[in-house]
Amino acid sequence: MKAIPDCMFHSRELACKKPYGAVKAGETVEFSVYPRRERGIQYVTLWVEEDGGQPEAFPMRWYGLAGARDRYSTSFTPDHAGLYWYYFTVDGSDGPVYAMRGYGGRCEILDTLGDKYQLTVYDPAYRPPSWFGEGITYNIFPDRFCRDRMPVQPEGEGVAPRVLHENWDDIPVYQPDGNGEILNNDFFGGTLRGVIEKLDYLESLHVRTIYFNPIFQAYSNHRYDTGDYKRVDPLLGSEEDFQTLCVEAAARGMRVVLDGVFNHTGYDSRYFNGRGRYDSVGAHQSQESPYYRWFDFQQWPDQYGSWWGIYTLPQVREMDESYLDYIIDNEDSVIRRWLRLGASGWRLDVADELPDAFIRRLNAAAKQEKPDALIIGEVWEDASNKIAYSERRRYFQGGELDSVMNYPLRDAILAFLNGGTAEHFAETMECIRENYPRDVFYNLMNVIGTHDTARALTILGVSEEEWHMDRDGRAHYALPPDRLESAQRRLRLAAVIQFTMPGSPTIYYGDEAGRQGFEDPFNRRTYPWGAEDRALLGFYRKLCALRADSDTLARGGLRFLRCEGALLQYERETEHSRLLILVNRGHHAVRTHARAVYAVDMLDGAEFDRADSRGIHVTVPPETAYILRCFGTP
């Protein structure tokens, strides 16, 4: 028998809404509300509206008593995928009121319309590939991970002269040039062969997916200004090197995911050719160019749409048929070609700036080439209800995105460890879990650091005043010993949360080795080979081994338990195993209990025996995390 909720409606309680969270098209959703009997209820109505549509009324029938409450129920069966919104009206002796979405899934009784509940409906035939979320991902910024040789000026069509660092430990160029521009044209010479040499290292971390930031020929070291989508940047290596990397990685059980930048190209590219370095006739050179229609010229050749107004990143018209043919549809399209050469999927840069139709077409082409190909989107917010450029995005209804970067998790982890509450962390994750299809929620790219964010270790140790240092100060900054030690403890806690939540824990290269740094380019310094923080790296190895060997962490259910202030307590459970995660970010020990007869900490082997009828009493020391394997039920 379902427990009676302590409020009229709670969207996360099966007694009120079944099934939990997002539902399949054609699946019946059962709704029940429990108003207090003294309200003198006359009738209750469920209102459901498809996003952008008109609400439809579903009268609710009285189904008897539930303690001091009445139970009213009805059902709704969505016949197609989409985003829906719902709420309730209650007519009683005091007149009509609205039951709207409140905090934590509980309803809020209002006299007027308020926030509506969300219902995500998805295509039951669509299945994201599960291999990604079940394994560990390692994110490589190609120029800065490893080089197998000293860099030399590359040659070939379209290749611009580059500033080359001989010293691997240099600080990246961060000051503007004489024209006031930061050109990002200094390179350290990381190579694909260098990555191949470090595959044993990645295997020691039990990595199953290598996610590369862009590898294609470009002017800039970040390579988000693509120069040629069909050529590996010559400083990185060759197409043959890429194929070898994919083969060698596959032999170790790893897959490769590439970064696709399809919202814009480079000013210095085969397609735009703003500097005339390519043999092709680019859109900037002639209106007769085969690429002219790709770009949004307000006044040719120098006034055109560009990403965030940055002239070196001219935006493309993604739905232009010749562009679609080149990127997606053609037998030798960019998407198909690199999948055939060994890649297993694509991460889509600025996915919320790509049309939904473009993403669906890309996903379909990728699945035609490889049925288990993965399409991940860069979305920083709740992707289930994202609005971009005044348009509701539709990412999870079936055939769009298989996953997104889980920035809400990153933000919640860092906020919690920097003084936020466990309640807020749990609520953030529960909102995502309720709104995302389960297969997507278990397939998320769980990041703590990326090339777009300051290093986690720096965020967890820097003072408020230090955030306001000038660029010279930020370039040479390192945490002082006392705050470094504290930040290292917090980073361990962050990693425990990251590795024990559903989805793929994703390591930004060097985070596991203690790399520090503020924003770009300081967060993109080279991997510190030979100067790693051995203790931190050892902790990551242990955590990676635990995650790789745990079906419970890969597929098990999630349930938040005691989440109060500095203590975060949640459970991962399958039919055969139960793990209790305890994280105390505070400066004082916290005493709690575990529903078990016996438990052992998977991190350091500490054992806990049954204390009373409630289970085991556990005292969690300050800035400490336990991953308890629980046995028996009291």
Residues making up the chain, counted from first to last = 634
In one-letter notation, the amino acid at residue 278 is: Y
Q: Are strands 107-110 and 557-564 parallel, antiparallel or unpaired?
A: unpaired
3 state SS for 507-568: EECCHHHCCCCCCCCHHHCCCCCCCCCHHHHHHHHHHHHHHHCCHHHHHCEEEEEEEECCEE
Tokens 């050109």, residue located: 183
Rounded to 5°, angle at Cα 331 from 325 and 333: 50
In one-letter notation, the amino acid at residue 140 is: I
Question: Going by C-beta distance under 8 Å and a sequence separation of 6 or more, which residues neighbour residue 479?
Answer: 457, 458, 461, 462, 487, 516
E strand or H helix that includes residue 187:
strand 186-187
Q: Measure CA 268 to chain center.
A: 30
**Contact at 8 Å (CB) between 364 and 417?**
no
What is the CB neighbour count within 10 angstroms for residue 6? 11
Hey, is 482 helix, strand or coil?
helix
Q: In sequence order, what DSSP letters do the residues of 398-446 get, joined into one string?
A: SSS-SEEB-HHHHHHHHHHHTT--HHHHHHHHHHHHHHS-HHHHTT-EE
Question: Going by C-beta distance under 8 Å and a sequence separation of 6 or more, which residues neighbour residue 378?
Answer: 347, 348, 349, 350, 351, 352, 404, 405
Angstrom distance (rounded) from CA 353 to CA 393: 10
Angstrom distance (rounded) from CA 570 to CA 107: 24
Cα–Cα nearest to 508, from 449, 421, 557:
449
Backbone CA torsion sign across 257, 263, 267, 272: positive
Catalytic site residue 378? yes
φ, ψ for residue 568 (rounded to 5)?
Answer: -110, 125
Spot the catalytic one: 186, 233, 349, 430.
349
In one-letter notation, the amino acid at residue 222 is: H
Find the distance separating the first CA and the last CA of the chain, reported in whole Å. Answer: 21
In one-letter notation, the amino acid at residue 160 is: A
Tokens 């009997």, residue located: 37
Tokens 């990685």, residue located: 249
Tokens 């054609």, residue located: 26
Q: Measure CA 71 to chain center.
A: 39
The two most distant CA atoms of the chain are separated, in Å, by 83
Spot the catalytic one: 378, 439, 571, 623.
378
Question: Going by C-beta distance under 8 Å and a sequence separation of 6 or more, which residues neighbour residue 469?
Answer: 477
Angstrom distance (rounded) from CA 146 to CA 131: 26
How far apart, in Å, are the Cα atoms of 100 and each of 9, 85, 105, 116, 203? 9, 11, 10, 6, 49
**Contact at 8 Å (CB) between 516 and 458?**
yes
Q: Are strands 255-260 and 345-348 parallel, antiparallel or unpaired?
A: parallel
Residues annotated as part of the active site: 349, 378
